Amino acid sequence: MHITPDRLTDALREQGLRITAARRAVCAVIAARHGQHLTAATILEDAVTERGATVDQSTVYRTLDALEESGVLVHSHLGHGPAVYHLATEARHQHVVCRRCGATEEIEAGDVAEWIARLRETTGFVVDPTHFAVTGLCPDCANRD
Q: Tell me which residues touch Zn ion (CB under 5 A).
A: 98, 100-101, 103, 138, 141
Q: How far apart are CB 46 and Zn ion at their closest, in Å?
A: 18
Q: How far apart are CB 121 and Zn ion at their closest, in Å?
A: 26
Q: How far apart are CB 61 and Zn ion at their closest, in Å?
A: 13
- Spatial separation of the C-alpha atoms in residues 83 and 131, rounded to whole Å: 9
Amino acid at 70: S
Q: Would you say 6 or 128 has its CB closer to Zn ion?
A: 128
Q: How far apart are CB 94 and Zn ion at their closest, in Å?
A: 8
Closest Cα partner for 67 from 121, 26, 25?
26
**Contacts (Cβ under 8 Å, ≥6 apart) of 136:** 96, 97, 98, 99, 142
Q: How far apart are the first and last CA of the chain?
A: 40
Phi, psi (degrees; rounded to nearest 5) at 75: -125, 155
Q: Would you say 51 or 61 has its CB closer to Zn ion?
A: 61
